[in-house]
Amino acid sequence: MSNVYAQEERTISPPDFSSLFEDKGGIVARVVDPLTLQMKDGRILNLAGMDFPDLDYHQPGPLSVLAVKIMRDMLENTQVKIYQNNNNEESRLNRMGHSISHVVVHKNSLWVQAVLLRLGLARVRTTADNYDLATEMYVHEDFARSEKSGLWKIRAYDVHEPDNAHLFTDNFGIVEGTVKNVSIRQGQTFINFGDNWKKDFTLSILRSKRKDFMKAGLDPRDWGGKKIRVRGWLRDYNGPYIEIDHPEALEFLDVKQDSKTEENTKK
């Protein structure tokens, strides 16, 4: 399987990991599933920021099966570097006690998350505790989506529009659209993508989390007319609805497009 990711090895530049906590490296003994690595010293790693939409632990789908094959070829019996968030030790573990980690192959500095994203085998899924390198991961996800690679060929996993988001509730989803208006009721922020808030797609930020967005320089009251891509658990609550608890779950596409235009102009 080495030829599958050989091209990625030549094109992926490692990001700056200096803001993260570098844990003790080691040798990967076994790839358990696309999200889980067992180290030879007994540690269990959970890949940070990754979502494999067809991962069923009893009967994994073809994308997850392919991801495991590639990861076994790339990682088993291989020395890796391990990076985790720099917040606190508790936030570095999932509920199973596995270390939530970014993993890098020692010999060639190949970032495992980037490979999986560029091949379209995974999509980005950050959390309020583990959101490091979200911007860098989105770049690799964007590449795979533009190439229609892997999961991006499948409608259920692709980016949804506000008008069809109701077809994909009760799943982790990505929705992209232009904000119609923003309202604040009893401290909770509602970002509406249509005229009928009881029916159209709505994004919500709890009162307790709004301060995190303000600290990041993101005031929801300024989002009217902006094109946004948001990801989270898509459920039905007066229409399709996502509640987010950290700024990294958002991408402001107008800003991204302006950046691309500026970059192309410089070229």
At 8, the amino acid letter reads E
Residues 6 or more apart in contact with residue 238 via CB below 8 angstroms: 197, 198, 199, 202
Band of the pLDDT at 215, cuts 50, 70, 90?
very high
Average pLDDT over residues 127-133: 95
Q: Burial level of 102, CB count in 10 A (0-12/13-18/19+)? A: buried
The two three-digit tokens of residue 202, written as one number: 């709505």
Give the global pTM: 0.91
104-118 pLDDT tens trace: 999 999 999 999 999
Band of the pLDDT at 256, cuts 50, 70, 90?
low
3-state SS, 117-181, equals HHCCCCEECCCCCCCCCHHHHHHHHHHHHHHCCHHHHCCCCCCECCCCHHHHCCEEEEEEEECCE
Of 10-14, 37-41, 63-67, 87-91, the one with minimum mean pLDDT is: 10-14
Please state, in angstroms and rounded to a whole number, the distance separating the CA atoms of residues 227 and 257.
Answer: 10
Position 261 scores a pLDDT of 45
* Domains, in order of start, for the chain: 2-153 (2.40.50.90), 165-256 (2.40.50.140)
Average pLDDT over residues 161-183: 96
Position 164 scores a pLDDT of 95
pLDDT > 90 fraction of the chain, expressed in percent and rounded = 83
Say if residue 69's pLDDT is above 80. yes
The gap between the terminal CA atoms of the chain, to the nearest Å, is: 36
Say if residue 55's pLDDT is above 60. yes
pLDDT > 70 fraction of the chain, expressed in percent and rounded = 91
